Amino acid sequence: MRLCSLSKKSPSSNGSTSLPIGGIDAAVSGEVSWRHAFGALTPISTSSFTGGSPFDIAGVLIARDAAVTEVGLDFHVAPNATLGISYNGSTPQMELSRAYSVRLT
């Protein structure tokens, strides 16, 4: 199996703080980082079926460099309940990736 290898996000800066919002305890967190890919930018996997010839499957081209942003906001709505919202995005030149999530724990 041949795969491209990605470095960890580096360098990065992150932080978090707690604050009351409308009488509810909340926690805000965030991170800004840079992701760099080493080696081949197209992930390739070699596979085969039982008794068959091997074949390659190529994935989507990965950006060499990308800025990554993560932001989250957690509301402590009850002693055993937290409502959280978050955003995660990367902005390389060739692609744009965004994810939003809402969770209740």
Q: Per residue in 11-22, pLDDT tens?
A: 778 889 998 888
Residue found under tokens 């955003």: 87
The pLDDT confidence band at residue 94, using thresholds 50, 70 and 90, is: low
Please give the C-alpha separations between residue 68 and each of 12, 63, 72, in angstroms, as whole numbers.
Answer: 9, 12, 14
Percent of the chain at pLDDT above 70?
88
Q: What is the pTM of this model?
A: 0.65
Query: Residues 66, 90: contact at Cβ < 8 Å?
Result: yes
Rounded mean pLDDT of 85-91?
91
Q: How far apart are CA 16 and CA 78, in angstroms?
A: 20
Rounded mean pLDDT of 2-16?
60
